Structure 1
Amino acid sequence: MSDLKTYGYNTFSEIFVSVSTENIGRVTTVNKTNYKIITESGFKTGELTGQMLYSLSPSELPQTGDWVEIINYAESCIITKVLPRKTTLLRKTAGRTSDVQILATNIDTALIVQGLDRDFNINRLERITVALLDAKIKCIIVMNKIDLDPDWQSKVEKVQNRLPDITIIAISALNNTAIDTIQKQLIPQQTYIMIGSSGAGKSTLLNQLVKKEIQQTQTISTSVGKGRHTTTHREMFVLSNGSLLIDSPGVREFGLALSDSDSVTTSFSDIKYLSEKCKYKNCTHTNEPGCAILSALEDGSLLIEEYNSYLKLRNEAIHYQQTVQEKKKKGKNLAKLIKDMKNKNMKKRYD
C-alpha cells in the first residue's frame, strides 16, 4: 500500500472504493502497447486485454496518470479496466479534424514552462491557460532563463497584467535560481505536469526538482533557434518532497478542444468582468450596442491585444465545437443508412 500512497492513492481512493488495492495500479509511463504500472507491490509491466486493445478508441486506452484495474502476475500485470478520471488534459490535433490527443490524466496542477528567450509568447500562455482551466486543472506559469534576459522583470509584468489570476514564478533552472519557490507550491501526493516548447528548460527544471540527473538536456539549435526534443514520452516522477511530476515532450502548438466556448473567458478576467455588464446576455462583443467590452476598448481600459487574443481563441473554440457536431451528425446519418440497408435486405430475404 505504501507505493500506491506515494503515487497519490489517498487523493483518488474515494473514486474506486469498491476495488481492492491489490487490483489497482497507476500508469507512470506509456510505451506503445505496454505500460509501466506502480502497484501495491512495486513497479510492474502492464499489458492490455485483447478486448481493450481492439475495441477501445485511443482516448479510452490507458494514459500516463491513469488509475487502472489489474490482474497481477509475478513481474507483470494485465490491465482490465481504466478507472474513472478526475481530470483529462487534451489538445486538438493539427488540421481541420476534431480529433484530440490526451496528454495526461488525473492532473491537479500544470506547470507551464516558457523560456525568456525566443520561446517567449504571451498568446501561447493564454491559449494553454484556457485549455487547463476548461479541464478544471490549476496552473502555474514558470518563466525560465532569467539569466539570459536582463529585461525579464518587464516580461513577467506583461504576463501578470494579461493573466492576473495566475501564479507566475520567474526562475533560472540552469543556475538553480528560485527553484525553492516552485517547490513550496508543490503538495505531496498531488500530481503535476510540465507543459512547454522544446528548449524551454523542462528537463533541466525536472533534474533540479528531483535533485539528480534523470533527464538528458540539450542546447538550443543555433540554426533555427528552436529547442531539440529531449523528452520523448510522458513519464511520472516522485519529487523529493513527495509530490508527483509528469514530464512531457515539447508542445509548441496547442489546439483548443473545449467543452464550452464560453469557458474561454475564464482566463480573461477583465473581459469576464466586463461581459457581465453588457446590455445583452448573448452579446458577441463585436458590434452590439451597449457592449461593455467595446466601450472599454474605446476608452483604453482594455488592451486591444488582449481583446484580439480573446476573439481568436473563442472563434477557434466555436469552430472546434461545430466540427464535433458535424462529425456526430455524419455518424448518426451513417448509422441510419446502415440500419435502413439491413432492414431492406431482411425484407428482400422474406419476400
Structure 2
Amino acid sequence: MSIASLSSLGWGPDLADAFSHLSSQSSSSLVPGRVVRYTRGLLSVRTAERTWLARTAGRLLHRAASTEALPTIGDWVALAPPPTGEGDALLHAVLPRRSLLARREADTEHEPQLIGANVDVAFLVAGLDANFNPRRIERALTLAWQSGATPVVVLTKADLLEDPTERVREVEALAPGVTVIAVSAPRDLGLDAVRSWLPEGKTGVLLGSSGVGKSTLVNHLLAEARLVTQSVRTEDDKGRHTTTHRELFELPGGGMLIDGPGMRELGLWGADEDGVDATFADILEQSAGCRFSNCQHRAEPGCAVREAVASGTLPAERLENFEKLQREQARQARLTDPLAQADHRRWLKQRTEAGRDRSLAKRRGGK
C-alpha cells in the first residue's frame, strides 16, 4: 500500500509537504501515520501498512514545552517502525495540526488534557433528559470554537419527548448559526444528519458527559456494537463511565469519529478569547449599544445589555455564564500567556499605587 492510501484518514498535500521536510532532516527511516487509539499514554498508530503500538521518543518528550506538544488521539505523526517488524514503533514527531481540542485538567491549572487533534467537527452531545443543562452547552461551545473545529450540537434521547422541537429551538437561540440535531439512536432519528457532517477524510469528535448516549451513538453510526453501554442512574439521571480510552473509528461510507470518556467538567484552556466571543456573539453585539465603551454590564447607566436582561430578550443566566467564562478565560490567560501576565502585573501595580495615594490623602486630610 502507498502513502496515498491514507487519504481516507485525512492525509493531504499539506501533511505530505510537512512530512517530506521532516523526514529529509532525520537519520531514521520514518513513515507517516495517524494516532487512532490513546490509553494512558499508550498509542496505536495507523500507517499505510498496518497499525503499530508506539512509544514516544525520549527526545520528543524532552523537547516538549508542555503537554500540548505531545501526541494525542487524531494526531498525524512521524514514526520509525522496529527494524525487525516486531515490537513497538518509535514516535519521533507530531506533524502540524489544523485544530486541537483541549480542556483544563480538573486537578491542575497548568496542564491541559488533550481531547483530540485535527478535528473538523466537534459534536457537543447533550441528553434530553433531566440532566439537560444549557449552561454546559455554552461551555462546550466555547471549547469547540476555541479549538478551530466547527461545533454541532447533538441532542440525544429525543424519544423521551413527545416533540423535541421546543428544545431544539432553545439551543438554537443560545448557539446562533450552529447546527442543532435531535437524535434518537434506537429509532434511527437524526443519524443521517450526523453522518452528513463526516464525509470521507473528515474527522469528528464527541464531547459530552457520561450518560448522554455517546457510546450508543457511536455503535449506531458504526452499525455494530463496538462499545459497551450502560443505562444512567435512575436516582439522578447521571451516567456511568463505560469508555476508558480514546479511539478514532472509521465509519462505513467514509469519515472518522473520536470517542472517549465522558467529561462532566469542561475547564477552559489557553489565552484565546475567540471561543467566548463566538459563543456569546449576541451579547457582544448588544454591548455595542452601551453608553460607555468599557461598560462592565453591572450598574453603569445606559447599559444596553442590562436593558436586554430587564426586557426579557436576554436570559439573566446567559449573561451570568458569559461573565463567569470571561473571568475563567482571563485567569487562564494570566497562567499561560506572558503578555497577559505582564498586563495583570501592571494592573495590580496601578491598583496598589492608587490605594496608597488614597490612604495618604486620607491621612493628610485627617490632620
TM range, smaller chain: 0.7 to 0.9
> Is the aligned partner of 1:62 residue 2:71?
yes
Tell me which amino acid in the other structure corresponds to 1:120: F
1:212 aligns with one of 206, 224, 227: 224
Mapping of residues 219-230 of structure 1, within 5 Å: 219-230=231-242
Distance 1:11 1:170, change over 3 A: farther
8 Å CA contact 2:144–2:275 kept in 1: the answer is no
State the 1:289 CA deviation.
3.4
Q: RMSD value over aligned CA atoms? A: 2.5
8 Å CA contact 2:15–2:95 kept in 1: the answer is no
State the 1:18 CA deviation.
2.5
- The runs of at least 4 consecutive aligned structure 1 residues that moved more than 6 Å come to 326-330
- Tell me the alpha carbon deviations over residues 120-139 of structure 1, each in whole angstroms, 9 at most, x when there is no partner: 11000000101111222111
Q: Which residue of 2 aligns with 1:253?
A: 265
Q: Which residue of 2 aligns with 1:295?
A: 307
Q: Which residue of 2 aligns with 1:184?
A: 196
Tell me which amino acid in the other structure corresponds to 1:296: A
Distance 1:81 1:262, change over 3 A: closer
Q: Which residue of 2 aligns with 1:313?
A: 325
1:18 aligns with one of 17, 21, 41: 21
Distance 1:198 1:15, change over 3 A: farther
Q: Which residue of 2 aligns with 1:242?
A: 254
Tell me which amino acid in the other structure corresponds to 1:69: A
Tell me which amino acid in the other structure corresponds to 1:214: R
SS in 2 for 1:214: coil
| Distance in 2 of aligned mates of 1:182 and 1:329 | 41
TM-score with structure 1 setting the length: 0.86
State the 1:206 CA deviation.
0.5
Distance 1:161 1:328, change over 3 A: closer
Distance 1:282 1:154, change over 3 A: same
Tell me which amino acid in the other structure corresponds to 1:270: D
Q: Which residue of 2 aligns with 1:36?
A: 44
Q: Which residue of 2 aligns with 1:174?
A: 186
SS in 1 for 2:124: strand
Percent of residue pairs identical: 34
8 Å CA contact 1:163–1:269 kept in 2: the answer is no
Q: Which residue of 2 aligns with 1:194?
A: 206
8 Å CA contact 1:24–1:70 kept in 2: the answer is yes
TM-score with structure 2 setting the length: 0.82
1:137 aligns with one of 130, 146, 149: 149
Distance 1:15 1:231, change over 3 A: farther
- Tell me the alpha carbon deviations over residues 16-64 of structure 1, each in whole angstroms, 9 at most, x when there is no partner: 1525696211111123343111112121121222333455343322100
8 Å CA contact 1:141–1:168 kept in 2: the answer is yes
| Distance in 1 of aligned mates of 2:130 and 2:256 | 29
Q: Which residue of 1 aligns with 2:164?
A: 152
1:100 aligns with one of 108, 112, 117: 112
| Distance in 2 of aligned mates of 1:278 and 1:234 | 45
| Distance in 1 of aligned mates of 2:212 and 2:336 | 32
8 Å CA contact 2:15–2:96 kept in 1: the answer is no
State the 1:326 CA deviation.
8.7
More off after superposition, 271-280 vs 82-91:
271-280
8 Å CA contact 1:118–1:225 kept in 2: the answer is yes
> Is the aligned partner of 1:72 residue 2:81?
yes
Count of residue correspondences: 330
- Tell me the alpha carbon deviations over residues 67-104 of structure 1, each in whole angstroms, 9 at most, x when there is no partner: 11111232542111112221111111225733321111
